[in-house]
Amino acid sequence: MGRWEPGARERLERAALELYVERGFEQATVAEITNRAGLTERTFFRHFADKREVLFSGQAEMLEICVNAIVGAPEAVAPLDAVAEALRAVSAPLEERRERSQRRQTVIAANAALQERELLKLASLASAVADALRRRGVTEPTASLCAEAGLAIFKVAYERWIGEPGGRTLADVIQDSLDHLKAATAG
């Protein structure tokens, strides 16, 4: 445990998201975040590589879910369908925290530096997915293409899901995007 109160990392994440929402990412300083969390700047940088990373702690979990879904899919499933299955698996935890996802996404949408970090996280996700596909025997360049295409589907679907009034499920929007992509590439 920590020196005084436990859960330092979680407190930092909460304080950071709050401040980023209140005053914007650039206007919030790390000193303010750590003050609100009752810690020092140095401790912030022990938990997070930089000021942006504090918004992306869930990434490791998403990556694990994705890879497991692909590795665990039946042999007969086609590469792109295995990727779609992984996306559906990932959508579940996001679905549960729609409110939080929306607040987070609003912050990210307002700042280019945060968009960069999100794109890097998604790219590393695609890289891991391509790896998992290769372990299923899928050859290049099909593995990378399916991974990147899945990423494209997810990006489009996630954006639509966040922006929509709230009727459809994220999994539904993903399926819809997949169908549209298949139709567009059928020509």
Partner DNA sequence: CACTGCGATGTCAGTCACTGTCATCACGTA
Partner DNA sequence: TACGTGATGACAGTGACTGACATCGCAGTG
Residue 183: both structure tokens together: 């139709």
Q: Which is nearer to DNA, 8 or 62 (CB)?
A: 8
Residues 6 or more apart from 146 whose CB is under 8 A from it?
79, 80, 82, 83, 129, 130, 133, 138
Position 165: which residue type? Answer: P
Least CB distance to its own copies at residue 51 (A): 13
Stretch of residues binding DNA (CB under 7 A), selected from 2-10, 72-80, 87-95, 131-139: 2-10
* Residues of this chain, 128-167, that bind its own copies according to CB under 8 A: 141-142, 144-146, 148-149, 151-153, 155-157, 159-160
CB 121 within 8 A of CB 56: yes
Least CB distance to its own copies at residue 75 (A): 14
* Residues of this chain, 20-49, that bind DNA according to CB under 7 A: 28-31, 38-43, 45-47, 49
Q: By CB under 8 A, is residue 54 in contact with its own copies?
A: no
Distance (Å, whole) CA 157 – CA 173: 5
